[in-house]
Amino acid sequence: MKDHHCNQERKREIVVFPENELLPANATIDDVSIEFQSAADERTARQILQTITKIDVGPQSQLFVAPGSTLVIYFEVTNLRNEPTYHNFNVQDEKRYLEQMEPRFLWLMPNQRESVRVTILVPQGSELGSKDKITFTSQSVVQAQQSVMVTVSSTGVVDSWQPRIWYTYNTRCDWRWNCVGGTWSIEVVARDYETGLLSMRSTPEGLVLRSPFVAGTNEEVTATYSASCCEPRVTITAYDLNRNQRTLQLNVDD
Ligand SMILES: [Ca+2]
């Protein structure tokens, strides 16, 4: 990690991607390149992704737990680099509910996604409504982090409403005669007013968060997706803590 006073220099360096460059913890797209929106070069978009390890909270994770019981949280780690990378995992919490993490390290091939299971035990007598923030870190060529907020609750969760999701285009492809060399991008916002947002992901991969969020937040979560104009389609899905999901299907050519 570099000093703040050479921030501009760091941004330039990262765009050309020297082999050993390290991004700071919680690296987001703003750290990688602020020139992203104006870059009409698909290589730039690809290179940004190559710096990134993405972590999603698996939709099967439960973040409400009764006193005296255990729960499992699934952190899905995806290697978006073009080369195999070794990942060391670490997990911390505020209330010492952590029981187990499996596995503790992994090799991931390009675009490979694997789940890390984190088990917590909430002691008998824990106060209802109290919360434990759990922070999962993957240390590799870059460091990535995702936090979740677990709530102690003896009753079931009431939330049958899907998350909201909306988007705006930053750049489109319609002025181009052919797709080669062109890039399009959108900004996507998701929000869940009830139990809170668990994760937001895309197919193909490539959704990059504007800033980290704690799974379970009721605030807006913003991300950017960018692809070559030769790959005009994307599906983006947002999940809430009660497994409700909303899917957005886009075709930039429409
Ligand atoms: Ca909801």
Is residue 143 assigned to a domain? yes
Contact by Cβ (8 Å): 170, 197 = no
Is residue 238 assigned to a domain? no
Cα 166 to middle of ligand 1, angstroms: 15
Which ranges of the chain does DSSP label H, i.e. alpha helix? 7-16, 29-32, 42-50
Cα 209 to middle of ligand 1, angstroms: 20
Is residue 171 assigned to a domain? no
Q: b/e per residue, 186-217, with b = 16+ CB within 10 A?
A: bebbbbbebbbbbbbbbeebbbbbbebbbbbb
Q: How far is 218 from 207, CA to CA, in rounded Å? A: 20
Is residue 27 assigned to a domain? no
Cα 163 to middle of ligand 1, angstroms: 5
Smallest Cα–Cα separation from 101: which of 136, 140, 68, 67?
136
pLDDT for the residue 173: 86
Residues whose Cβ atom is located within 5 A of ion ligand 1: 159, 161, 192, 194, 240, 244
Q: In what order do the strands lie in the sheet with 53-57?
A: 53-57, 70-79, 113-121, 98-102
Q: How far is 254 from 247, CA to CA, in rounded Å? A: 17
Cα 239 to middle of ligand 1, angstroms: 8
Is residue 33 assigned to a domain? no
- Per-residue pLDDT 10s for the chain (254 aa) are 334 443 333 333 333 233 333 333 344 444 443 334 444 445 555 555 556 889 999 999 989 999 999 999 999 999 988 899 999 999 999 999 999 999 999 999 998 999 999 999 999 999 999 999 999 999 998 889 999 999 999 887 789 999 999 999 998 886 656 788 888 999 999 999 999 999 999 999 889 888 889 999 999 999 999 999 999 999 999 999 999 999 999 998 88
Cα 156 to middle of ligand 1, angstroms: 14
The count of structural domains within the chain is 1
Cα 220 to middle of ligand 1, angstroms: 13
pLDDT for the residue 36: 42
For residue 21, give both structure tokens: 């460059």
Residues of the domain holding 70: 54-152
Q: How far is 181 from 41, CA to CA, in rounded Å? A: 6
Is residue 206 assigned to a domain? no
Cα 194 to middle of ligand 1, angstroms: 5
Cα 64 to middle of ligand 1, angstroms: 14
Cα 216 to middle of ligand 1, angstroms: 10
> What is the CATH classification number for the domain harbouring 81?
2.60.40.10
Is residue 201 assigned to a domain? no
Q: Using the 8-state DSSP alphabet, how is residue 217 labeled?
A: B
pLDDT for the residue 158: 86
Cα 245 to middle of ligand 1, angstroms: 8
pLDDT for the residue 50: 55
Cα 238 to middle of ligand 1, angstroms: 10
Pairing of strands 143-152, 64-65: parallel
Q: pTM of the predicted model, to two decimals?
A: 0.78
Cα 116 to middle of ligand 1, angstroms: 25
pLDDT for the residue 206: 86
Contact by Cβ (8 Å): 144, 138 = yes
The DSSP secondary structure of 101-163, one letter per residue, reads EE-SEEEE-TT-EEEEEEEEEPPTTPPTT-EEEEEEEEESSSEEEEEEEEEE-SS-----PPP
Cα 81 to middle of ligand 1, angstroms: 33
Is residue 59 assigned to a domain? yes
Cα 198 to middle of ligand 1, angstroms: 10
Cα 134 to middle of ligand 1, angstroms: 21
For residue 215, give both structure tokens: 């799974």
pLDDT for the residue 253: 84
